[in-house]
Amino acid sequence: MADIGKNLGTAVKVLRNSGLVAIPTETVYGLAGNALDHKAILHIFEVKNRPSFDPLIVHLHHMDQLSEYTLDLPEKAKILAEKLWPGPLTIVLKKDPAIPDVATSGLDSVAIRIPAHPLTLELLSKLDFPLVAPSANPFGYISPTNPEHVNDQLGNKIDYILDGGSSRIGIESTIITFNEDKPEILRLGGTSLEKIESLIGSTIVRASQLNPIAPGMMESHYSPDKRVVLGNVVELMNIYPVEESVFLRFKKPVPGVNKDQQFILSETGNLEEAAQNLFSTLRILDKLDIKYIIAEQVPDTGLGKAINDRLRRASAKKNEINNKDENY
């Protein structure tokens, strides 16, 4: 298992020597390496079992560094960067050759973010290179929101886990790109669409396309191993055996089901709280001795859109597999 601690000196040393450190961010934990170091980048792909065509996000300390790593900054991107960074927003920009092609899977664009976590910002300020950091989970699984999640799955493959507590937002950053200056959302996430549109006007949401531009858009991403069934919980109770199921609801328990089979994302109906709890709850449910996670969508506004997106993706893979099973 990896060492877990708050020692920035250790983290700096590991990163300077091409090693990997799991870092806390306000969204989810990242698996970080030197963004200018081929060896570190290739190691990240290997540890995550991530396909080489899935590009990484480059994490910066300050907007001033943009000119070093990107080629131009559309006006609307500048507004978002100035208003929302540090924060849960990733902006795809034209790549400067300073960023190695392996980091961006050969694309001529690079995804950039300044994370809003004090420990990681301090770490970045101590380094003379940016950090590439995908979420610190095996490819396709649920993103980690605390050091134990990282340790559970990647602990024996990485050098150090920087402990910054539980992630405040709990869901990955929103990804935006500019297609000839027109803003397109590639992944719904920790910055709400409403927030973005209040700053730069309307956007096109491409996050639910079938042909993914960003692999995070793939239908079966963010999946637990257990089968997630999404729909009206009360109706699904009549279809799936209650004794082999747990119920994941937004606000209220399902009437007539044991309390210990019920998991509530936010008793006060707060979507921020629900986002914060989503991934850690799914991880808990995935470890239970049950067959089905019966879940329902949350209100489709604010962070609710990103929560519903993750629930839909979590349910996608298992349905595919199960449909195949049912055919045999």
Q: Which residues bind Mg ion (CB under 5 A)?
A: 135
* Tokens 């803003």 -> residue: 183
H or E element in which residue 273 lies? helix 271-287
Q: Does residue 145 touch ligand TXA according to CB under 6 A?
A: no
**177: β partners:** 92, 184
Work out how close the CB of 173 gets to ligand TXA at its nearest, in angstroms, rounded to a whole number.
3
Work out how close the CB of 143 gets to Mg ion at its nearest, in angstroms, rounded to a whole number.
5
**Residue window 158-197: x/- pattern of binding to ligand TXA, with contact defined by CB under 6 A:** --------------xx-x----------x-----------
Segment lying near ligand TXA (by CB under 6 A), choices 5-13, 49-57, 222-230, 239-247: 49-57
22, 36, 84, 110: residue in contact with ligand TXA (rule CB under 6 A): 110
Of 110 and 307, which CB lies nearer to ligand TXA in the complex structure?
A: 110
Three-class DSSP labels, 95-144: ECCCCCHHHHCCCCEEEEECCCCHHHHHHHHHCCCCEECCECCCCCCCCC
Of 135 and 281, which CB lies nearer to Mg ion in the complex structure?
A: 135
Structure tokens at 62: 């300050």
Of 233 and 274, which CB lies nearer to ligand TXA in the complex structure?
A: 274
H or E element in which residue 199 lies? helix 193-200
2, 14, 15, 28: residue in contact with ligand TXA (rule CB under 6 A): 28
* Tokens 């927003």 -> residue: 89
Work out how close the CB of 90 gets to ligand TXA at its nearest, in angstroms, rounded to a whole number.
5
Of 294 and 306, which CB lies nearer to ligand TXA in the complex structure?
A: 306
